[in-house]
Structure 1
């Protein structure tokens, strides 16, 4: 079986993460597009089979099976649409697009072309997260009623620090929620099966950031309350300016009999609590935590699995879908559309100071993308 040939658009941190995941999944990095041919050439040096190309149109003319879009948010829509229109499968970094309408168009286009089109909501791929999902699915009589958590970072905890994400023209109208809040919400809905139907949000800034008006138009953090379609209440605290918090995604999904908690910075364990006991369930490679089978290269207990491993598993399952298999829970463009709708609801609520109803998103596009939801 020939390895899948992949193109990468974008040479920053995320481009590197995708490239390593491609090779770990048995694929080949065929070609790389950067902001310039020089940047593409530097990135291609790390992957012997890769060649630098000057523009996405050149990559589309090559014999590639899938293209990974790892560019600033404002470029995702045009690039992903061009790739799909060329009949090529695509992996697009989140947010899929900066507006719900654009995200909906991409999901519809993927369905029209019967393409595998995925978004890396990679926190789904921690075994502890799958363990929580499996237990919640199998447990009866424990209706989850309180869904709460936080996602805290400190990489912008200095008014002198900046990044293209702070500019709404490049990153979109929401920064903290659009960048990390969508991860938490995707994880909550994936694990619990609940869907957010109403949101009340407040956005805030830690300080006046250097760089003028455009550097201060997106939020450093947000506080949300929400309600779900199953009658649960929830809350979420987000920050990209909390000193000492590097990438702390944490949740607690609470029921009257059993509660489940996970911390991404300590990813080997799922906390499970009941009236009788509180236990930490460790990752066990002998259990079927990922789609009923153990993925190749799995680490033994005591060897912590990290962020890159989740990315590797996500890309491996995307490539399985391209080959016609049926991965369970693979995040598609339909999920990217859902994230865009939630982001719009959050920004509308914060602007208006009121509760906002969240429109439901059809998953018809996801059904045509060779996955089991």
Structure 2
């Protein structure tokens, strides 16, 4: 059986998932076969070039022409385009893998989750960090009781690509298209990792959002014009957060601290999470993706484990022990699990229910910031 696949979006995440599909038959021979059928976007000229580069048979400028013509739709567009194409695909019986966060608003995410419940198709959310071997290893330790009783969770996701106030405006700076800024872009990953690793729900939280740069230049605007004088570039307002923080209380009584920023100078892609319990602690840092730091109750400090052995999660498909993996491999693992579920009529996690739970947390953090008080989830 060969699955016809359509992508909505062809830039960053389109490249990541197309690369994953190309790698699957080489390293995961039991994965379902796929045919990259149609690439969807707005710019026909750019689409034609991208379709050739990413290995697609054809392209279309309207997602409505594609959602019922493929077996699987990858929704990799901006957040405000997650709901309608995904719902239409699910209504047509087409399987959907949607980038995170699930929607740009809680209402959109609820409609998407309802469509998934009503459809027999598989609906997954692309929280790719669940598929890091070290994270899978950490989850196994937690399930085996290594932490004991959970006391603390602290998670940060820091980037610096918006430090410069002259960095150009993009859809990620617009509330109507993105929903939120660092909160949904980065914080969603942290919240999902905590939820994936722990059998514990958030009871209440207190959140704060901050925007440091109120407007940004539009790329390509400004210049000499008709005279020798320089004209100021066009600017657009920034209507989302540059950074967020949240203090969380879990149902178990454990506490959590979450933080994300896109203006943390010197932090290129620092996604970190640490769990502390009565029996042990675990710490993960994406910038050291192949490692996991662990500390047992009787240890004097953390020990760093290299998670690259053949019996570690997914590693039997790759290289000899000690030959490390990279960020792109997380998408290979994610696509393997998702497509295997699609072909076998099985379940995939994270699904749209998981995506909705994270969206509820994002919404609660925004509500808390607006009210200036703790809110229940």
Normalising to structure 2: TM-score of the pair? 0.88
Aligned to 1:260: 282
CA distance in 2, matches of 1:229, 1:213: 45
Count of residue correspondences? 350
Shift of 1:25: 2.7
Q: Is 2:182 the partner of 1:184?
A: no
Task: Report the RMSD for the aligned CA atoms in angstroms.
Answer: 1.9
Aligned to 1:367: none
Q: Is 2:23 the partner of 1:21?
A: no
CA distance in 1, matches of 2:49, 2:147: 56
Q: Is the 8 A contact 2:5 2:74 kept in 1?
A: yes
Match of 1:195 among 190, 197, 201: 201
Shift of 1:302: 2.7
Match of 1:306 among 319, 326, 336: 326
Aligned to 1:276: 299
Gaps of 5+ in 1: 359-373
Moved more, 260-269 or 215-224: 215-224
Q: Is 2:371 the partner of 1:352?
A: yes
Q: Is 2:68 the partner of 1:54?
A: no
Aligned to 1:285: 309
Q: Deviations over 1:60-110 (max 9, x none)?
A: 353x21010111111111111111111100111112112222212211211
Q: Is the 8 A contact 1:23 1:29 kept in 2?
A: no
CA distance in 2, matches of 1:47, 1:156: 28
4+ aligned runs moved over 6 Å, structure 1: none
Shift of 1:144: 1.1
Gaps of 5+ in 2: 26-33, 218-233
Moved more, 215-224 or 255-264: 215-224
Matches within 5 A, 1:209-358: 209-211=215-217, 215-274=237-296, 275-277=298-300, 278-290=302-314, 296=317, 298-324=318-344, 326=346, 330-358=349-377
3-state secondary structure, aligned to 1:223: strand
Q: Is the 8 A contact 2:15 2:54 kept in 1?
A: no
CA distance in 1, matches of 2:249, 2:8: 38
Q: Is the 8 A contact 1:203 1:350 kept in 2?
A: yes
3-state secondary structure, aligned to 1:250: strand
Larger Rg: 2
